[in-house]
């Protein structure tokens, strides 16, 4: 996957043709159950590969909390924020970003706590997978979500050329407003991935596994008074250190992702298209 090339003009044309600005969240995200193509139990691997069109792919996973309190984030990205993410990266010299969108929920209460798209580059295909996400609107009263399912899938079910060919780590972002479960039970791993054998693993351990080939971040959105409370932040700081990002303005989430990638992506030394990514990031964004 990952064909095509993003442009702000193509995105604007797509957005206008679909009339997103005049549609409600429910009119854009029409799925009422998980899309079969996004079912992780049927996805052995998601690939982010180099090609003639994208010779130096950079793999980026964006895991979106789709429980009741967080549906506004996918809506924001679809309606206006894709250029803040993809366009900003390309303007900064990261010309071959490939983004995979995930839907994340509560694996105790929800029917679809993990949904996985494909790594894509074009406005049309990014929009296709993002709008297929089922905004289940669930979650329970347990003050934790299954963000660690993203770490599991990234670690064990993705293959990315930026790491395999160039030892450049990809980027994995989860976005939400709650703590993460402390572990992934074996039965949950078997249920939501295409594996028959599994052992319970702690969240700390699965994050470390994902960190072998990804720079791992969690963005905690302080979008209301409740989400600002320390109890809602759990032990993210302990798990991720400086890679735990608290963001008061949710409208800047896509731009913040781009900023992190620009600041931390290490150019391939042998590249003929090597560009500095340490210039004034604020000016770029």
Note whether 24 and 70 are within 8 A (CB).
Answer: no
Q: Which of 65, 185, 175 is nearest to 115 (CA)?
A: 65
Q: List all residues 6 or more positions away from 210 whose beta carbon is below 8 Å from its beta carbon.
A: 151, 152, 154, 155, 172, 216
Kindly report, residue by residue over 230-263, the tens digit of the pLDDT: 999 999 999 999 999 999 999 999 999 999 999 9
Kindly report, residue by residue over 175-204, the tens digit of the pLDDT: 999 999 999 999 999 999 999 899 999 999
Query: What is the pTM assigned to this prediction?
Result: 0.93
What are phi and psi for residue 165, nearest 5 degrees? -95, -35
Compute how many other C-beta atoms are within 10 angstroms of the C-beta atom of residue 241. 8
Compute how many other C-beta atoms are within 10 angstroms of the C-beta atom of residue 192. 22
Domain 8-23+71-284 has CATH 3.30.160: no
Compute how many other C-beta atoms are within 10 angstroms of the C-beta atom of residue 198. 17
Q: Which of 90, 78, 79 is nearest to 121 (CA)?
A: 90
The Cα–Cα gap between 160 and 180 comes to: 25
281 pLDDT higher than 70: no
Kindly report, residue by residue over 67-96, the tens digit of the pLDDT: 887 889 999 999 999 999 999 999 999 999
């Amino acid at each position: 996957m990952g064909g095509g090339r993003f442009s702000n003009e193509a995105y604007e044309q797509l957005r206008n043709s679909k009339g997103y600005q005049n549609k409600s969240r429910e009119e854009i995200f029409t799925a009422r159950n998980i899309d079969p193509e996004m079912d992780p139990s049927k996805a052995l691997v998601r690939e982010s590969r180099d090609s003639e069109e994208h010779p130096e792919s950079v793999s980026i996973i964006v895991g979106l909390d789709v429980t009741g309190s967080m549906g506004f984030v996918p809506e924001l990205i679809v309606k206006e924020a894709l250029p803040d993410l993809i366009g900003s990266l390309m303007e900064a010299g990261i010309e071959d970003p490939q983004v995979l969108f995930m839907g994340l929920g509560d694996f105790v209460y929800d029917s679809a706590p993990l949904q996985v798209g494909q790594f894509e580059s074009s406005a049309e295909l990014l929009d296709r997978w993002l709008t297929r996400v089922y905004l289940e609107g669930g979650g329970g009263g347990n003050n934790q979500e299954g963000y660690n399912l993203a770490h599991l899938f990234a670690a064990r079910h993705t293959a990315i050329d930026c790491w395999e060919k160039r030892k450049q780590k990809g980027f994995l972002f989860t976005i939400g407003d709650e703590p993460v479960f402390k572990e992934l039970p074996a039965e949950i791993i078997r249920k939501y991935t295409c594996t028959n054998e599994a052992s319970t693993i702690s969240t700390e351990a699965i994050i470390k596994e994902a960190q072998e080939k990804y720079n791992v971040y969690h963005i905690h959105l302080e979008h209301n008074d409740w989400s600002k409370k320390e109890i809602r932040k759990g032990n993210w700081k302990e798990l991720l250190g400086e890679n735990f990002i608290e963001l008061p303005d949710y409208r800047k989430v896509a731009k913040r992702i781009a900023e992190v990638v620009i600041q931390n992506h290490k150019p391939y030394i042998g590249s003929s298209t090597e560009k500095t990514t340490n210039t004034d990031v604020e000016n770029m964004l």
